[in-house]
Amino acid sequence: MDTISISAASGMRARMESLEMLANNLANTETGGYKGDREFYSLYSSLESTADPGTGASTQLPVIESHWTDFAQGDLRVTTNPLDFAVEGEGLFAVDTPRGVRYTRNGSFRVSAAGAIVTADGSTLRARGGGKITLDANGTVEVGTDGTVRQNGQTLGQLDLVTFDRDALNKEASNYFAASGNAPGRPAKGAILQGKVESSNVSPAESAVRLVAIMRQFEMLQKAMTIGSDLNRASIEQVARVAA
């Protein structure tokens, strides 16, 4: 293939992956505590082109090298449900799942039959210093902004909020993040607000603009590819023609 087509094909492939990422963001606009993913474009340079920058023009290709998760604050929605906790500022809730400790910003919890505070899939919310918080069936649950849980005038424990370096968290299904190398994380300074939940931080309007941009760029690359093939055809059909 010629250089134009190769570059354009690589660009088209990258836009397809961008669209896949955008589709996942938009599908999760109603997922509580969801954090949007963004792509990180980069340039692939083959060995020849880096060895001799003057000649190897053909082997630099645009690729999506990695993704990054936008940890911006999502909007807080008032639910008045006493077991809805929203984190304002930095920090994630620590949850004991069957696979180990996972972290989430989805603060919509409930009580298990045994009285523990659990997530929608039944994993236990961790208290500071490990362990769990067990509620009584009767009595109002009050949670302070520092995460202290009180019921019937008694302090039952404090919710654990932890933070990590940006690159240390990887997304898992069901609103969970896993820490790479199972690092314990640092205590976070975020405030816990009871009776509110954090919505997804994906903005549908911005995503719509990005959707249009992806489509148009894709269209342009497709045109570039057509031009590349036209040039090829011209060289095959016309340059090689022997004048009669």
Partner 1 sequence: MIRALYSAASGMTAQQLNIDNIANNLANANTAGYKTRRAQFQDLLYQNLVAPGSSAGQSTVVPTGLQLGLGTRTVSNEIIFQQGDFASTSNPLDLVIQGKGFFQIKMASGDQGYTRAGSFHLDATGSFVTPEGDQLQPQITIPPNAQSINVANDGTVSYTLPGQTQTQNAGQITLANFQNPAGLNSLGRNLFQPTDASGAATVGTAGGADGLGGLLQGYLEQSNVSVVDQFINLITSQRAYEANSKVVKAADEMYQQVNSLRQ
For partner 1, the binding residues (CB under 8 A) are 12, 15-17, 19-32, 34, 37, 40, 64-68, 79-81, 106, 108, 110-115, 120-121, 136-139, 152, 167, 170-175, 180, 204, 207-208, 211, 214-215, 218-219, 222, 225-226, 229
Q: Which is nearer to partner 1, 24 or 73 (CB)?
A: 24
Shortest separation between residue 40's beta carbon and partner 1, angstroms: 8
Q: In this structure, are residues 96 and 47 in contact, taking their beta carbons and an 8 Å threshold? A: no
* Cα angle, residue 51 at apex, residues 49 and 55 outer, rounded to 5°: 45
Residue number with CB closer to partner 1 (26 or 76): 26
How does 30-49 read in b/e, with b if 16+ C-beta sit within 10 Å? ebbbbbbbebeeeeeeeeeb
In the complex, what is the shortest distance from the CB of residue 244 to partner 1, in angstroms, rounded to a whole number? 27
Structure tokens at 126: 């961790």
Secondary structure letter of residue 24 according to DSSP: H
Q: Cβ 110 to partner 1, closest distance in Å?
A: 5
Q: Could you tell me the two tokens for 101?
A: 């400790």
Q: Which is nearer to partner 1, 31 or 128 (by Cβ)? A: 31
Rounded least distance, CB 37 to partner 1, Å: 7
Q: Which residues contact 137 (CB under 8 A, 6 or more apart)?
A: 115
Nearest approach in angstroms of CB 72 to partner 1 is 17
Smaller CB distance to partner 1: residue 128 or 199?
199
Rounded Cα distance between 217 and 203, Å, is: 21
Nearer to partner 1, 1 or 57 (CB): 1
Q: What is the C-alpha to C-alpha distance for residues 90 and 191, in angstroms, rounded to an integer?
A: 8
